[in-house]
Homo-oligomer: A and B are copies of this chain.
């Protein structure tokens, strides 16, 4: 009998991270790292796991969207699905009624991405490979067939994509050996959350350098005097040779971004991340022109490949920050990696939150092995929160991600954590002190 997808379970799981202001930045003072967590099950008992990362309130909307799209996955023959996840991605993104709610953006697009990623996780498990290796073993033709080029051809054609992949094919085996031996560079945002006091900032900066990081990131944009003081503390703590990136999380308009960053320039910021609205391609280009040689980085909120295409066409970014859960899944991220390679812009993935490190490492490692062929000026973000909830958590050594070897996309959360943190009825929400999704100063929505 044909093996089929028998069910899609979607779970609202929330971690009360706001209680300690982990993850606090200028736009997200009290995040509760959360997920719409997805489990595909097949008629023969196999599973594929995926998640859509969220930050607390509203996760129920994301769950509703995954559940609405799940009907397009249930009943599908598994062999066909894992042989061509791109066909599913096209159906999910292209549904002629649901696309009105996007298209290719926001809740419905992330829901599609969560399901597509779960299918890739299932595909990699069945192949007995970590996802990065599954992808790196596909031929250029197979990879290109996984991408929807409809809106991309003015910047990247199928033939150009094939050319990039073929040019990198020769070195794949050697780079794979290097990846397995040496890992992939990381940078850390752990020291720099806006809610941490100066002492904690300084201590965590010193610890980061001692742990082997040569790039750290600070949140900025709350208060200019605070930022000047904190940048001074961080620069003092790490010395002149460790790079310090800063991240404004969209708090500024274009003129403010330029003015504010000029005040921080004495401390040699490496990049300014999300200086303004993630939709503002032309605004980022203006900020980049004004602030060069400070780099401009964005991506965690760039909602699809069409937007990344324009950021690259307009010369608006120096650093492409893909996110595993923002766009329509692995397939769209393949397109974004190829666009970045075409324009010669390095990819430094966004991570942190819950599960983002676990998922996105596969894409960066695939990029190294099979697309860009380089780790120069590249690093995956690392934050040391919530990894204990994963069955196959990321492993870091000396400031580098070690390549995962377990089959899949590393998305699986341990069952006990799903039970404990399920919202609103898990014991962490019913027994522990409440208030995290109703934090001081924060507007509260009806449950």
Contacts and interface: CB of A to CB of B under 8 A. Distances in A.
What is the interface residue range for chain A against chain B?
Answer: 35 or more
Contact of A100 (B29, B58, B97, B445): B58
Interface stretch (A212-220, A247-255, A331-339): A247-255
A443 to B, nearest CB: 5
A54 B102 CA distance: 11
A32 B56 CA distance: 32
Contacts of A101: 54, 58, 61-62, 106-107, 110
A72 interface: yes
B310 A105 contact: no
Contacts of A61: 61, 64-65, 68, 98, 101, 107-108
A445 B58 contact: no
Contacts of A56: 97
A61 B310 CA distance: 29
A99 B32 contact: no
A278 B57 contact: no
A286 B255 contact: no
Contact of A68 (B99, B153, B445): B445
Interface in A80-98: 91, 95-98
Nearest to A437: B97
B106 A109 contact: yes
A154 interface: yes
A279 interface: yes
B277 A104 contact: yes
B32 A97 contact: yes
A54 B446 contact: no
B104 A279 contact: yes
At the interface, is chain A mostly helix, strand, loop or mixed? loop
Interface string A235-272: 00000000000000010011100000000000000000
A322 interface: no
A115 to B, nearest CB: 11
Count chain B CB atoms within 10 A of each CB in A27, A68, A109, A255 and give the residue with the most: A68
A114 B74 CA distance: 32
Nearest to A283: B154
A62 B72 CA distance: 18
A445 B106 contact: no
A301 interface: yes
A303 interface: yes
Nearest to A444: B71
Given A301-B103, A444-B71, A97 B151 contact: no
A55 B309 CA distance: 28
Given A61-B68, A64-B61, A108-B107, A310 B281 contact: yes
A374 interface: no
Contacts of A254: 151, 153-154
A428 interface: no
B58 A108 contact: yes
Interface in A9-68: 27-32, 54-58, 60-62, 64-65, 67-68
A194 interface: no
A95 B29 CA distance: 10
Contacts of A69: 445
A70 interface: yes
A139 B442 CA distance: 32
Count chain B CB atoms within 10 A of each CB in A96, A150, A447 and give the residue with the most: A96
Contacts of A310: 279-283
Interface in A395-447: 437, 442-447
Given A61-B107, A97-B57, A72 B445 contact: yes
Given A30-B97, A32-B97, A97-B437, 9 more contacts: A30-B96, A57-B97, A58-B98, A58-B108, A60-B68, A64-B64, A71-B446, A72-B445, A153-B253
Give me the 4 closest cross-chain CB pairs, A-B, nearest first.
A106-B106, A71-B446, A71-B445, A56-B97
5 contacts: A54-B100, A56-B97, A58-B68, A105-B106, A281-B310
